[in-house]
Amino acid sequence: MTTKTYTVTGMTCSHCVGAVSAEVGRLPGVTDVQVDLATGAVTVTSEQPADDEAVTAAVDEAGYEVVK
């Protein structure tokens, strides 16, 4: 298992947290997604190292942006 944390902008409520968690959680190999609304931290736990491009695309699909 590996864990990586991303910073996501634009989230303002629990609906935002749910949308990001759902999209990222659908990625192959992802076993857990934790979102800290106050800081914008999205921590992804996966079987293999997370694919940064796939996580960024999932966050974008949810309507938010990963800070690089």
Supply the pTM of this predicted model. 0.94
pLDDT at 61 over 90: yes
Q: Is the pLDDT of residue 6 over 90?
A: yes
The residues, ordered by sequence, that sit 6+ positions from 18 with a Cβ below 8 Å of its Cβ are none
The residue type at 22: A
pLDDT at 8 over 90: yes
Classify residue 18 by its DSSP letter. Answer: H
For residue 15, pLDDT beyond 90: yes
Residues whose CB is less than 8 angstroms from the CB of residue 39 and which lie 6 or more positions away in sequence, other chains included: 7
Query: Looking at residue 68, what is its pLDDT?
Result: 83
pLDDT digits (tens, 9 = 90+) for 25-53: 999 999 999 999 999 999 999 999 999 99
